[in-house]
Amino acid sequence: MNLLTIIGEALRALRQNRLRTGLTMLGMIIGVAAVVLMLSIGQGARTKINETIAAMGSNLFLVVPGATSSGGFSFGSGSVRTLTINDAYAVAELSSISATAPVTTGTVQLNYAAKNWSTIITGTTPNYFAVGNWKIESGTIFTESDLRSAARVVVLGSVTAKNLFGDEDPVGKTIRITNRPFLVVGVLMAKGQSLTGRDQDDNVLIPITTSERQITGNQFPGSIRYMMVQGKSAGDMDIAEIEITQLLRQRHRIAKGKENDFTVRNLTAIADVATDAAKVMSIVLGAIASVSLLVGGIGIMNIMLVSVTERTREIGIRMAIGANRRAILTQFLLEAMMICIMGGVIGLLVGIGGAWVVSRVADMLIVITVGMVGLAFLFSSAVGIFFGFYPAKKAASLKPVDALRYE
């Protein structure tokens, strides 16, 4: 009996018991759909995190002023303003460092025409855009000469630009920041949320000199909130960290044995942790979903065993008219595989549909890859062969005379 004929026979047998076939298939559908959905959610989370990390910039350090303590009370990091713009320039000279950007921040009220908007203002140097992997949507960034002259120029984050200007092009317009006029020179491309969930696009950037003298003011001239530091290569991050620490200790005249008055954070390492967490999450999700696939497989095995017992006489008749063991084995194995493959295909569609719904309802990024589709298909066939083999083997190893006599 050729394979096509056996497939026909298997389909006929499955059609004869529609409800049972359907219910058995349902186990498979749920299993495959769950696997596809969970994998796509996991993959989506990983993709999202990778995008965020790429947007953050590579080989980054964040250097923040350290915690001080006074009379046994710790004031937390950044509680004193020990870092200065000159520290940032000095760090930039290190051999393992490619660029630095000192940053001051504050909250300001913006006005344009009748609209106003409150946002975070970042005072920094032109290096900030390259270090933080910011791209310009329109216009330009501010320049070194703007920095030197403390010019009233501003670069808008995309969300801020949208809120203040709507569909109007902000470049070349003048906005008021705490009632001082600033020329908009550029608008940033949107980056989305940071790893911590903060909207990175709701901000304005101005030269740090302008900020210090005209906007935030400064209790300690030259001090900064933090600095971004970009290392030259991913492989030398450890060396870079040591060099930064040594240089800053030296500049701050910290005696041996005393604690640093600043903290160097390796953002890339933090990103790696996030990536690992996402990877673990997708593995766990996939594993949980696989359990339902396993249960579906056991359901198939169960029903095939029942089917073999019920059809013992049929098997006997088939053997009497010339079916050999292979023909019987193939027939029952194919029935199990067909349930699995059909269930797998339907489950795949249900899973993709479910992923679409989740992405719409929960506003999550869902990624479905060809590899996942292939995996679901392969997995369901494997379940069919694995759980279908024992019942099929049982059917094929019946003795013709016993099978025929079975009532």
Question: CB of 341: closest distance to other proteins in angstroms?
Answer: 22
| Of the candidates 267, 248, 263, 261, the residue with the CA atom closest to the CA atom of residue 90 | 248
User: Residue 340, Cβ neighbours under 10 Å: how many?
Assistant: 32
Question: CB of 398: closest distance to other proteins in angstroms?
Answer: 11
- Give the Cα separation of 296 and 32 in Å (integer): 9
Question: CB of 396: closest distance to other proteins in angstroms?
Answer: 9
Question: CB of 312: closest distance to other proteins in angstroms?
Answer: 12
- Residue number with CB closer to other proteins (367 or 404): 404
Query: What dihedral angle (degrees, nearest 10) is formed by the CA atoms of 378, 380, 385, 388?
Result: 180
- Residue number with CB closer to other proteins (10 or 355): 10
- Residue number with CB closer to other proteins (23 or 320): 320
- Cα-Cα end-to-end distance for the chain: 27
- Residue number with CB closer to other proteins (313 or 360): 313
One-letter amino acid of 211: S
- Give the Cα separation of 384 and 389 in Å (integer): 8
| Of the candidates 349, 269, 352, the residue with the CA atom closest to the CA atom of residue 43 | 352
- Residue number with CB closer to other proteins (12 or 148): 12
HSE-up of residue 174 (Cα within 13 Å, Cβ side): 7
What would the two tokens of residue 360 be? 């719409």
- Residue number with CB closer to other proteins (18 or 253): 18
- 10 Å CB burial of residue 280 (0-12, 13-18, 19+) is exposed
Q: φ, ψ for residue 33 (rounded to 5)?
A: -60, -40
Question: CB of 282: closest distance to other proteins in angstroms?
Answer: 46
Question: CB of 321: closest distance to other proteins in angstroms?
Answer: 4
Question: CB of 12: closest distance to other proteins in angstroms?
Answer: 7
Could you list the residues that contact other proteins (CB under 8 A)? 1-2, 4-5, 8, 12, 16, 313-314, 316-327, 399-401, 404
- Residue number with CB closer to other proteins (14 or 151): 14
- Give the Cα separation of 15 and 23 in Å (integer): 13
Residue 128: CB partners within 8 Å, gap ≥ 6? Answer: 101, 103, 122, 134, 205, 228
Cα separation values, 139 from 30, 169, 171, 208, 222, Å:
52, 10, 6, 19, 29
- Give the Cα separation of 189 and 206 in Å (integer): 16
- Residue number with CB closer to other proteins (267 or 315): 315
For the CA atoms of the chain, what is the radius of gyration? 33
- Residue number with CB closer to other proteins (327 or 346): 327
Question: CB of 303: closest distance to other proteins in angstroms?
Answer: 18
Query: What dihedral angle (degrees, nearest 10) is formed by the CA atoms of 347, 349, 350, 351?
Result: 80
- Residue number with CB closer to other proteins (8 or 371): 8
- Give the Cα separation of 16 and 398 in Å (integer): 23
